[in-house]
Homo-oligomer: A and B are copies of this chain.
Amino acid sequence: MIVTPSSQTPLDTPRNRLFSSTNMAKVRSHNRLNKKLYDARVPALREQLVGLQVRLKEAPFKVLLILAGEEAGGRGELINTLSGWLDPRGFETVAFREPSDEERERPLMWRFWRCLPSHGRLGIFAGSWYTEVLRAQADSEGSKPVLVSRQLERIRHLEKLLSDNGTLIIKVWLHLTKTEQSLRLAEYAANPDTAWRVTEEARRHHQLHDRLARSAARLRAATHRPGALWSVIDAADPRSRNLEVAGLIIQKLNAHLKRFEASPAQPPRAITPKSLEPAGLARLLALPLDQKLSSADYEAKREKWLGRLNRATRAAQAAHRSIIFVFEGWDAAGKGGAIRRLTSAIDARDYRVIPVAKPTDEEKSHHYLWRFWRHVPRAGLITIYDRSWYGRVLVERLEGFCTEPEWRRAYGEMNDFESQLVAHGTIVVKFWMQISREEQLRRFRDREETTYKRHKINAEDWRNRRKWAAYEIAVGDMLARTDTPDAPWHLIAANNKRFARLQILKTAATAIENALGL
């Protein structure tokens, strides 16, 4: 269980220090630490760091140390120093080079999701979601403001999501003035072992130092939020820099651990839900469920729509567009059968069905969306989620597997996830398969009475069925809050299986055609 720390953490770096790039010299003229003093302070710091790592190991959260800063601020040296101080078994350094083709074929944030450490571990991010924004700022005179502002929105969203989930995010900006930078670059250039660091880009960034420092200050201001605060560290003196960053980790991690240790996880508690969005429930209840469709009529129309769906998926593949289908619905609503019919129109080499059951322990040591990010398809491929992230606001809400703030946040998190997919070009098609309570009963009984269907029904299905009214409320809220223009919900009347299957084929084909402008 995740306990959410208070989001009221005060901004802990004075505003003027954080956002001003010009007054920096004044603020940090204080310390040039001599080696003796430094060496004397290191052992205690190390002991504290390792002690905290031991406590972190058992904690239900992860730590991200995100490092950024001016060119030549010594990020690499700092990481090497920290690596020498920390227990190597409990942390990992995450560096990002050129995105691989597997990364380029997914939404931008995918490569960061896949590199998140699991609970109990510290990830030192040598690069991060800031790297590209900073590079873009350096390359342009702010000519791509829309892109950047969208990207900022994504960053704020990801950091909030992680922090809400309990992640301790420590963001460090290693600051150098232009003069100090020039000294550092000269030092590098003079040493054959480090001369390679003084690249063309480094020289160019040095020329642009003041402009870049100003835009970086704006970037920090725009992303300095509770739970994801920036700390600006003077990087002119490497020894002070190392001690300051280590001290920051110790202080923050200690406080974070205390907060968790003080409020242990609550045991799960099922609740009787109140409808947040009666309009969603009304929409659900208004759906007529019993349609007629003759077998002959079904056969004829099915062939037509299978053909259209097949052509649509092939066109999507040719255009390198991925597709995600989400199947949600009552137990016994016919998700399995519908998926089987849907996939009969698609080359089996192009899709993958992800049945969503109990998370594995690796999945449990991440944010609940992680296990779904994992399976986001590559360009031109299709993922079919048989149940999905919406479990968060259905079963997890109702069974008390997550807290109320958690499932309340989830609507926005899921909308954002889908919007990232769609912005990347992925076509997202979501189905809710609706049956009546009586129809479910009939199907449950049928399952119990049919040998080869018996494995499909168990005591939990019956238990869930008794909570029908509660589930209806949760479904209504979900429909209302996550029915977005990017990824609308398609309600499928499913008392009549043939009708439902045909409806799904039509909806799927049409949605893809529309997305492709066919």
Contact = CB atoms under 8 A, between A and B. Distances in A.
Given A80-B344, A93-B349, A361-B360, A47 B452 contact: yes
B88 A353 contact: yes
Main secondary structure of the interface of A (DSSP, over half): helix
B352 A92 contact: yes
A438 interface: no
A95 interface: yes
Interface size bracket, A side: 35 or more
Contacts of A336: 87-89
Nearest to A95: B349
A12 interface: no
A453 to B, nearest CB: 9
Given A93-B352, A348-B80, A360-B362, A88 B339 contact: yes
Given A47-B452, A50-B452, A452-B47, A350 B88 contact: no
A55 to B, nearest CB: 9
B361 A93 contact: no
A361 B51 CA distance: 28
Given A102-B100, A361-B361, A349 B79 contact: yes
Contacts of A79: 348-349
Interface string A94-110: 01000011100000000
Closest 8 CB pairs of A and B: A95-B349, A89-B355, A79-B348, A88-B353, A54-B455, A93-B348, A83-B348, A126-B349
26 contacts: A47-B452, A79-B348, A79-B349, A80-B348, A82-B348, A84-B340, A84-B343, A88-B336, A88-B343, A88-B355, A88-B386, A89-B353, A89-B355, A92-B352, A92-B353, A93-B349, A93-B351, A95-B349, A101-B101, A126-B349, A193-B307, A360-B360, A360-B361, A361-B361, A361-B362, A362-B362
